[in-house]
């Protein structure tokens, strides 16, 4: 059991919810279990996506992996989370297509307040629509759906350093 929002959560339930959201089938349990962090100070990840199911799935997966996760569904909500967290954000996952901005705009707004943060940009759109040439800081981009092992490795790389995920 792990705690998510101060509630106990069964890791097997988290795994099933995440894999069902993305794949509709079960992934090996070791994918989730091997990703658990051992650091004494958990890293804080801001997830910004206008799809509540994606926010919930990422939140459950990353929380079960030892991260503290904040979620937002828009630029305005993301900026409110940054203020609430007093800038204590280690990495971000930003949807490229939000209702009130694109992901790079959100990253620039946040960088203006607290400095650049490593960012994973995600999108359901094709690469032709990605305008990230002037995105701030260290980043990666991936089209949804994102394989769970790749997502976990990308977040580890962004938040903790080490090797970037292979594409």
Residue 119 lies in a domain: yes
Residue 167 lies in a domain: no
Residuewise pLDDT in 10s, the chain (167 residues): 444 444 555 555 555 555 555 444 444 444 444 444 444 579 999 999 999 999 999 999 999 999 999 999 999 999 999 999 999 999 999 998 899 998 888 999 999 999 999 999 998 765 555 455 555 566 788 888 889 999 999 999 999 987 888 87
> What is the residue range of 10's domain?
2-160
Residue 165 lies in a domain: no
CATH number at residue 79: 3.40.50.2300
Q: Would you list the DSSP string of the chain?
A: -EEETTEEE-HHHHHHHHHHHHTSSPPPHHHHHHT----SSPPEEEEE-S-HHHHHHHHHHHHHTT-EEEEESSHHHHHHHHHHTTT--SEEEEESB-SSSBHHHHHHHHHHHH----EEEEESS-GGG---TT--SSEEEEESSPPHHHHHHHHHHHHH-SPPPP-
Tally of structural domains, the chain: 1
Question: Residue 140 has what pLDDT?
Answer: 81
Question: Residue 24 has what pLDDT?
Answer: 47
CA distance 14 to 9: 7
Residue 33 lies in a domain: yes
Residue 10 lies in a domain: yes
Query: Tokens at residue 33, please?
Result: 């279990």
Residue 166 lies in a domain: no
């Amino acid at each position: 059991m792990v705690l998510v929002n101060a509630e106990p959560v069964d890791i097997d339930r988290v795994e099933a919810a995440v894999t069902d959201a993305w794949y509709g089938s079960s992934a090996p349990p070791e994918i989730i279990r091997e990703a658990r962090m051992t650091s004494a100070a958990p890293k804080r990840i801001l997830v910004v996506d206008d799809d509540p199911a994606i926010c919930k799935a990422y939140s459950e997966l990353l929380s079960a992996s030892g991260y503290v996760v904040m979620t937002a569904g828009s630029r305005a909500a993301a900026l409110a989370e940054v203020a609430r967290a007093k800038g204590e954000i280690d990495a971000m996952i930003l949807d490229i297509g939000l209702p009130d901005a694109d992901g790079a705009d959100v990253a620039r707004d946040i960088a203006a307040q607290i400095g650049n943060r490593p960012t994973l940009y995600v999108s359901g759109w094709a690469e032709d629509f990605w305008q990230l040439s002037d995105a701030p800081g260290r980043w990666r981009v991936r089209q949804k759906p994102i394989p769970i092992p790749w997502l976990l490795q990308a977040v580890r790389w962004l938040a903790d350093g080490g090797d970037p995920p292979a594409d």
